[in-house]
Amino acid sequence: MAEVQTTIHTPIKQPVEQASSPWRDAWNILRKNKLAMVGLGIILFFVVVAVFAPQIAPYKFDEGELVMKNKAPSAEHWFGTDYNGRDVFSRVVYGARISLWVGTSSVLGSIVAGTFFGLLAGYYGRWVDSVISRVFDVMLAFPSILLAIAIVAILGPSLQNALLAIAIINIPTFGRLVRSRVLTLKEEEFVMAARAIGMKDSRILIKHILPNSLAPIIVSGTLGIATAIIEAAALGFLGLGAQPPEPEWGKMLADSKQYIQKAPWTVIYPGLCIMLTVLGFNLIGDGLRDALDPRMKN
């Protein structure tokens, strides 16, 4: 009898592709955006400077010698000295801590409060929406910097009060953004299905509506940090923000404006840091907008 030969075919293992997700897709789009990567690099640079300020700064930011008053940049003082003989480079380095802290903290506070009120207004509507929306309208009727000045004038000039004022004036921006998003999402089928099975409103807001509202919040928050840094610098320039000897960039500009012709380096370097930081957040914010917008993915 002829032997019957059987052949066993070993299945070829196919490479397992990495699971895709909206956030991973957004990152892949973002990292291809050269300008966004430049912005991310600028932000990371200033974050590193702020974190390691004591190791980077060669001098203490609040100590100086009057005999070294308004000295030009040199090997000893890279950015020169100010009107009190303090090292400008050291003050600029420590100033990164204050500006980034004020910008991020105030915007985070605005996002939390604005998201809370926006969820309530958009989801419940009726008188809740009317009351919250009218409050937002009144706040938006005032120029933001004037409203911030009024709040700090009432509370008293200090860095903490300036941070609180910046957070308050930006609440309507995030609140209206979230409200408009909720008005759209609450009519979607998955939200209506959640209601049909008896899910509580709080659970619907947290589990379904809020996660689908994160993309515009992140984009607006990133751009809002740049605005908050400018507003903090403006309040500092007016003497309503950080108080001496705190090395806040806006306050450094205000203290040195009368020496702009005699010692321009005391104004150039803090102003340049403000410009670069704001530019970095604007670039990464634009990149996030393009990456998180489904209409831009094609």
Listed ranges 42-46, 120-124, 199-203; the one with the highest mean pLDDT: 42-46
Give residue limits of the domains in the chain: 48-61+72-296
Structure confidence by residue, pLDDT tens digits, 133-153: 999 999 988 888 889 999 998
**Closest C-alpha among 230, 264, 266 to residue 250:** 230
| CA gap 84, 100 in Å, rounded | 25
For the cut 50, the answer to whether the pLDDT of residue 16 exceeds it is no
Residue 175: which pLDDT band, with cuts at 50, 70 and 90?
A: very high
CB atoms within 10 A of CB 219: 21
User: Is a pLDDT exceeding 70 seen at residue 46?
Assistant: yes
Q: How confident is the model at residue 186 (pLDDT cuts 50, 70, 90)?
A: confident
Q: Six-digit token pair at 192?
A: 């209506």
What single DSSP character describes residue 260?
T
- For 50-88, give one letter per residue: b (16+ CB within 10 A) or e: beebeeebebebeebeeebebbeeeeebebbbbbbbbbb
The CA-CA-CA angle for residues 120, 126, 131, to 5°, reads 65
Q: Does domain 48-61+72-296 have CATH number 1.10.3720.10?
A: yes
Longest dimension (CA), the chain: 112
Q: What is the pLDDT, as a whole number, of residue 22?
A: 67
Closest CA to 250 of 265, 268, 235, 272: 235
- CA distances, 291 to each of 8, 257, 294, 297 (Å): 48, 41, 8, 7
Residue range 47-68, pLDDT digits in tens: 999 999 999 989 888 887 777 8
Q: Does the pLDDT of residue 13 top 70, yes or no? A: no
Is the Cβ–Cβ distance between 99 and 277 less than 8 Å? yes
Is the predicted pLDDT of residue 1 greater than 90, yes or no? no
Q: Any idea which residue has 């966004």 for tokens?
A: 36
Strand partners, 81: 87
pLDDT of residue 298 exceeding 60, the answer is no
What does pTM read for this prediction? Answer: 0.82
User: How far, in Å, CA of 286 to CA of 281, rounded?
Assistant: 9
Peptide bond into 245 cis (omega under 30): yes
Where do runs of H (alpha helix) occur along the chain? 22-31, 34-51, 53-56, 88-124, 126-140, 144-155, 159-169, 171-185, 189-196, 201-204, 214-237, 249-256, 265-292
